[in-house]
Structure 1
Amino acid sequence: MVRCSNNLVGILNFIVFLLSIPILAGGIWLSQNGSTECEGFLDKPVIALGVFLMVVAIVGLIGSCCRVTWLLWTYLFVMFLLILLVFSITVFAFVVTNKGAGEKVSGRGYKEYRLGDYSNWLQKRVNSDKNWNKIRSCLADSKVCSKLEDKLVGVPVKNFYNEHLTALQSGCCKPSEQCQFTYVSATNWTKTAGTQPNPDCQSWDNAPNKLCFDCQSCKAGLLDNVKSAWKKVAVVNIIFLVFLIIVYSVGCCALRNNKRDGSYGYGYKP
């Protein structure tokens, strides 16, 4: 009788091996051709993920198809650690992103965002100068504000106030409502005299490469994006976790078959 579990582990790991190739190639391409902080920030994790998946898939393939028991033991140990890691990351993502939301502004089509509404862990990440300098560069390279300016060029203030801005556009491309600045264009505002209660009002600058990129509201807008993205990733992780558990279970059956074959000699004798 053909060992279904061994064959299934082999097939699943062959698929993982094929998937690791474009991931690894993409990481190498980013490292060779990336010209911005955003691209440079991504290449190393992508390459590491591609190499890891490729190595694990090869170990699983050899261990199951060639009946190499010690390799299959290694494969199952790594899979067990991976299951624990994915489970921990999923729980952590839900815990960290359970706080924070935009506040609806009366008479406006957009929300505004406050950094203090989000979890302390996320706040510490964006309040780090080293981290924020990289993120700020990414925001500038993405031209999120210049695209907004191009989209709303020449529109009156009433139309701007009715616009449904994204969290980044609201937090980084315009001053807070508390500043009471005078509208000129989507990313151009005239400062009013007097002391403003919100420190972001002092950070605002009409220069295209400055705007509100150093504002607390911009950091909050980014965290709102992170929160939404992490929740989606957490759902995907749950699906991936179920897949890993199934593969791990099938791998345990394959290991049992290898042991049985070893105890009976070459081949399976029922």
Structure 2
Amino acid sequence: MVRFSNNLIGLLNFLTLLLSIPILVTGVWLSRQANTECERWLEKPIIALGVFLLLVSLAGLIGACCRATWLLWIYLVVMFLLIVLVFAFTIFAFVVTNKGAGETLSGRGYKEYRLGDYSNWLQKRVNNTNTWNRIKSCLYTSKVCSDFNSTYLSDTVEKFYTENLSALQSGCCKPSNDCGFTYQSPTVWNKTSTTSTNPDCDAWNNDQTVLCFNCQACKAGLLQNIKTNWKRTAIVNIIFLVFLVIVYSIGCCAFRNNRADNWKRY
């Protein structure tokens, strides 16, 4: 029973070591196959995650199975820092995604989104010109609006207004309801004179490469997407945090076993 913690830590880190290999391979494959900036942006975090898991799992595996106390100590320090980091990120995710929600419109199946409803931290990120230009490129290459157009192309205006659109479709692929533009197709709207002060009315363009990608509503739609995903991530992080604490506790037991063995030798 005394060695059970060492064996368990060794097994867990062996499994993590196996997991790191496909993650690394995926990152390297993306770096060679990436054709867009979005794909190139993904490769670095994936490779970094693979290398991190590989090194940490090796330290834990060798430290537990070979009784290398100093390696196990490094492993526990890294695990402690990871627990603190995951905990801090989880709290941060809940705080910055606490504000913001879609506005329900009368007679519409979809919601509209206002940038000012979201946290200042998130607003600053998307209001940065360089950042938003990269995001726009990703949105366009992901075909979010071309797919949207294909899906609802046969809709009459009455049918279109009842559709349950996603936050990105509502914010980026059609003009704001405030503008009162005339529907021709999901991504083609005839501009009419309007008294609306909404700046998105001027930003709208029927050019399929422009649409409402420069609109405040598009930024808000993206933030709504981020909010939804971060909320889910935060819940997963809580489960992951509990797992990390359990592994850390087992690692501490293995560390004490190693120290006890070293004392017996002397």
1:150 alignment counterpart: 150
Q: Which portions of structure 1, spanning 4 or more consecutive aligned residues, are displaced by more than 4 angstroms?
A: none
Letter matched to residue 60 of structure 1: G
Letter matched to residue 31 of structure 1: S
1:103 alignment counterpart: 103
Q: Map 1:224-243; keep pairs closer than 5 Å.
A: 224-243=224-243
1:194 Cα offset (Å): 4.6
Task: Measure, in 2, the Cα distance between the counterparts of 1:117 and 1:135.
Answer: 20
Letter matched to residue 11 of structure 2: I
1:29 Cα offset (Å): 1.1
1:154 Cα offset (Å): 2.8
Q: Map 1:70-85; keep pairs closer than 5 Å.
A: 70-85=70-85
Could you tell which deviates more after superposition, 105-114 or 142-151?
142-151
SS at the partner of 2:63? helix
Task: Measure, in 2, the Cα distance between the counterparts of 1:38 and 1:105.
Answer: 33
Identity of aligned residues (%): 66
Runs (5+) with no aligned partner, structure 1 = none
SS at the partner of 2:221? helix
* TM-score of the two chains, using structure 1 as the length reference: 0.96
Confirm whether residue 69 of structure 1 aligns to residue 69 of structure 2: yes
Counterpart contact for 2:180–2:194, Cα < 8 Å: no
Letter matched to residue 207 of structure 2: A
Runs (5+) with no aligned partner, structure 2 = none
Confirm whether residue 220 of structure 1 aligns to residue 225 of structure 2: no
1:210 Cα offset (Å): 0.3
Task: Measure, in 2, the Cα distance between the counterparts of 1:144 and 1:128.
Answer: 22
SS at the partner of 2:17? helix
1:193 Cα offset (Å): 2.3
Task: Measure, in 2, the Cα distance between the counterparts of 1:261 and 1:212.
Answer: 67
Confirm whether residue 43 of structure 1 aligns to residue 43 of structure 2: yes
Deviations 1:111-162 (Å, cap 9, x if unpaired)?
0000000000000111111111111001001111111111111321000000
Task: Measure, in 1, the Cα distance between the counterparts of 2:196 and 2:260.
Answer: 77
Task: Measure, in 1, the Cα distance between the counterparts of 2:2 and 2:165.
Answer: 59
Task: Measure, in 2, the Cα distance between the counterparts of 1:224 and 1:230.
Answer: 10
Confirm whether residue 126 of structure 1 aligns to residue 145 of structure 2: no
1:195 Cα offset (Å): 4.9
SS at the partner of 2:164? coil
1:113 alignment counterpart: 113
Aligned residues: 266
Confirm whether residue 135 of structure 1 aligns to residue 140 of structure 2: no
Letter matched to residue 147 of structure 1: D
1:207 alignment counterpart: 207
Confirm whether residue 244 of structure 1 aligns to residue 250 of structure 2: no
Task: Measure, in 2, the Cα distance between the counterparts of 1:230 and 1:176.
Answer: 26
Letter matched to residue 17 of structure 1: L
Give RMSD over aligned pairs.
1.1
Task: Measure, in 2, the Cα distance between the counterparts of 1:80 and 1:143.
Answer: 42
Could you tell which deviates more after superposition, 34-43 or 86-95?
34-43
Letter matched to residue 14 of structure 1: F
1:2 Cα offset (Å): 6.1
Task: Measure, in 2, the Cα distance between the counterparts of 1:100 and 1:40.
Answer: 30
